[in-house]
């Protein structure tokens, strides 16, 4: 297939799930089976078209499509452009494929949904996936804002969808307040950029910003970064994330954590690397700080949780922090590691949330203190949870090992010793938190028997097994995945000029980037062993002591009041803008 033909297919991966989402409530009036089938076909079709473009794009060529064929005139793009670079395509593919698995799982777990509910659920689900794919492929600032809002609206619906627990409403309210604040920040930022340069296309903005970045540009960058950081769940914009994940059912958690968060990360990476460039503002230092604070705070809060899903939600904050640290390293190893970890996080966090969801589904219990001994009665779920935890802890040959090693490598190359040590510390705490959870829920002996609720269905097992297989495959085939998928993605991010010229020309090559990776590096293996040993001791100690004072103080900061969380977010927005403008 020729490149223009391939490029003209680019809107379809977004359009198909959108169409599927719109028709789902109508189809649900006819038949429930039909709704499920059409939704799955829509996501599969979207993934198939993305896969069609994959050989060309991962072969090192960015392809662009101009909506309505409004092709650029003298380097000016008037319409909206969609550009598939390896990074965007990778995220879009992950969203479509993991979204399909999650949809299969949900419709199996929530088999008892009524027709109207099923239609509404399938609609919101596909809208969210379409928004993520759109955000990953777009090369237009205001279009990015629109996808942000589409994702936000469908996430409000999904967060408040299951009303059996009133806390779902409470969490939806906090999500609404924080996301609305974030959308104002993004909106004003995008408007300021347009008013400054008369352009919305990433390539045009890149050229306009290449010479000099003025004060309004910096303020716009700060506002947009803060807005997208809210979507990604970075501290201090994270207030909504644990609450929403506590209240929603497992598959919705997996969707939010694994897929929706990546909108924020993708937008941050694009703005920082491909639009603004890293040289003219202290943005990498800012991202490093945000990342490390998120990684540490998320990990500590995860260690202290009693609710299984809330624990995993805080761990999401921590993992997104690690991803941002990788981007902030700014060198090939770090950026490739961050992209790799983003995809890995989608796989293992979806797996963990589905396992947690299965436990809740089966036993009706949510808090770790009431669980125990579940490994005997639910061996597959226990195995899935342990596999996911080992992936996050970075045990070879699972996927987390490869991405975390690359991020460590990136930090060490630039002699960023303190960030490196803090990242390691957050990993130790994360591993301890997940180990503690696995022990309390699955392996600890428990006296009385459970009141079993629902049975596990075949669709749920399929979901767990396929996500687990992803974790193993992306780890075992690490060097291959790195060379074929992750290195091109990092190359596209680190060669903004090539990306820009490709977006304006309709297609163009990006340079080949070689990211060396040694699977059996003794230093890295030793650090993994040390991490696991310290984490085991930490988990053992933490099970036996009273909650330490710093942890209690951190918990007290999470007051649960929407006003307080809004205040943290506004302070964060102001701080980000101030740091970028003044430093």
Partner 1 sequence: MILVNYLAAVALLCIGLYAVLTRRNMIKMVMGLSLMEASTYLFMISLAYRAGSTAPVLLNPPPGKSTQSLVHGNVADPVLQNFCLTAVVIGVAVTAVFLSVVVRIVQHYRTLDSDRVRDLRG
List residues binding partner 1 (CB under 8 A): 142, 146, 149, 152-153, 156-157, 160, 163, 166-167, 169-173, 176-177, 180-181, 183-184, 187-188, 190-192, 194-195, 200, 242-243, 246-247, 304, 555-556, 558-563, 566-567, 570
Question: Minimum distance between the CB of residue 160 and partner 1, rounded to whole angstroms?
Answer: 6
When the beta carbons of 110 and 304 are compared against partner 1, the nearer one is 304
Cβ nearer to partner 1, comparing 79 with 479? 79
Q: How far is the CB of 184 from partner 1 (least distance, A)?
A: 6
Nearer to partner 1, 108 or 316 (CB): 316
CB of 170 to partner 1, least distance (A): 5
Q: How far is the CB of 191 from partner 1 (least distance, A)?
A: 5
The DSSP bridge partners found for residue 320 are: none
- What is the arrangement of strands in the sheet containing 507-509, beginning at the earlier edge strand? 81-84, 61-66, 507-509
Q: Which of 360, 355, 328 lies closest to 493, judged by CA? A: 328
Least Å distance, CB 163 to partner 1, is: 7
Phi and psi at 156, nearest 5°, equal: -60, -45
Comparing CB distances to partner 1, the nearer of 45 and 216 is 216
Helix H or strand E segment including 369: none
Look at the block and give the residue holding tokens 């390293």. 329
- Pick between residue 243 and residue 409 the one whose CB is nearest to partner 1: 243
CB of 200 to partner 1, least distance (A): 8
Q: Looking at the chain, how many residues does it have? A: 583
Of the two residues 7 and 152, which places its CB atom closer to partner 1 in the complex? 152
Q: Is 92:136 a contact under the CB 8 Å cutoff?
A: yes
SS3 65: strand
Tokens of 52: 């069609």
**Least distance between partner 1 and beta carbon 175 (Å):** 9
- Kindly tell me which of 176 and 346 has the beta carbon lying closer to partner 1: 176
58: region left, alpha or beta (phi > 0 left; psi from -120 to 50 alpha) = alpha
**Nearest Cα to Cα of residue 318 among 250, 399, 400:** 400
Largest CA distance in the chain: 75
C-beta of residue 356 within 8 angstroms of C-beta of residue 309: yes
Question: Cis bond leading into 236, ω under 30°?
Answer: yes
Other C-beta atoms closer than 10 Å to the C-beta of 451 total 8
Which of 149, 414 has the CB closer to partner 1? 149
* Residues forming a β-bridge with 201: 140
Compute the least distance from the CB of residue 167 to partner 1, in Å. 5
Structural tokens at position 99: 């979204």
């Amino acid at each position: 297939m020729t490149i223009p033909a391939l490029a003209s297919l680019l809107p379809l991966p977004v359009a198909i799930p959108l169409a599927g989402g719109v028709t789902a409530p109508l189809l649900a009036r006819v038949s429930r089976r039909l709704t499920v089938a059409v939704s799955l076909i829509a996501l599969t079709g979207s993934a198939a078209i993305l896969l069609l473009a994959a050989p060309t794009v991962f072969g090192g060529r960015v392809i662009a499509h101009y909506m309505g064929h409004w092709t650029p005139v003298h380097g000016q793009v008037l319409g909206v452009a969609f550009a598939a670079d390896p990074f965007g395509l990778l995220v879009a593919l992950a969203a479509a494929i993991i979204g399909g698995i999650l949809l299969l799982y949900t419709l199996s777990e929530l088999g008892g949904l009524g027709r109207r509910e099923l239609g509404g659920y399938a609609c919101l689900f596909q809208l969210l996936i379409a928004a993520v794919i759109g955000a990953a492929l777009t090369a237009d600032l205001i279009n990015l804002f629109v996808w942000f809002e589409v994702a936000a609206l469908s996430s409000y619906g999904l967060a408040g969808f299951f009303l059996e627990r009133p806390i779902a409403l409470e969490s939806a309210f906090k999500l609404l307040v924080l996301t609305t604040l974030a959308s104002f920040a993004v909106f004003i930022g995008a408007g300021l950029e347009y008013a400054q340069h008369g352009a919305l296309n990433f390539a045009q903005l890149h050229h306009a910003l290449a010479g000099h970045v003025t004060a309004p540009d910096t303020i716009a960058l700060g506002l947009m970064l803060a807005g997208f950081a809210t979507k990604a769940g970075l501290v201090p914009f994270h207030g909504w994330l644990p609450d929403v994940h506590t209240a929603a059912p497992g598959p919705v958690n997996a969707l939010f954590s694994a897929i929706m968060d990546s909108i924020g990360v993708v937008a941050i990476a694009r703005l920082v690397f491909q639009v603004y460039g890293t040289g003219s503002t202290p943005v990498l230092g800012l991202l490093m700080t945000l990342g490390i604070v998120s990684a540490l705070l998320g990990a500590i809060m995860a260690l202290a949780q009693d609710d299984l899903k809330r624990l995993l939600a805080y761990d999401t904050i921590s993992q997104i922090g690690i991803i941002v640290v990788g981007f902030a390293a700014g060198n090939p190893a770090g950026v490739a590691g961050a992209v790799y970890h983003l995809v890995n996080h989608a796989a293992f966090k979806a797996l963990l949330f589905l396992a947690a969801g299965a436990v809740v589904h089966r036993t009706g219990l949510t808090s770790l203190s009431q669980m125990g001994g579940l490994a005997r009665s639910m061996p597959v779920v226990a195995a899935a949870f342990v596999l996911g935890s080992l992936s996050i802890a970075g045990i070879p040959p699972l996927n987390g090992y490869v991405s975390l090693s690359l991020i460590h490598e990136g930090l060490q190359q630039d002699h960023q010793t303190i960030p490196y040590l803090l990242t390691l510390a957050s990993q130790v705490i994360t591993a301890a938190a997940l180990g503690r959870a696995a022990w309390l829920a699955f392996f600890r002996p428990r006296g009385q028997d459970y009141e079993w609720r629902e049975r596990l269905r075949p669709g749920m097992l399929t979901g767990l097994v396929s996500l687990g297989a992803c974790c193993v495959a992306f780890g075992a085939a690490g060097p291959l995945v790195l060379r074929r998928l992750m290195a091109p993605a990092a190359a596209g991010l680190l060669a903004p000029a090539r990306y820009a010229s490709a977006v304006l020309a309709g297609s163009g090559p990006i340079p080949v980037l070689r990211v060396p990776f040694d699977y059996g590096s003794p230093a890295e293996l030793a650090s993994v062993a040390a991490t696991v040993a310290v984490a085991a001791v930490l988990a053992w100690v933490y099970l036996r002591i009273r909650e330490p004072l710093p942890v209690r103080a951190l918990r007290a900061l999470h007051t649960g009041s929407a006003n307080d969380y809004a205040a943290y977010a506004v302070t964060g927005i102001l701080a980000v803008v101030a740091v970028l403008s003044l430093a």
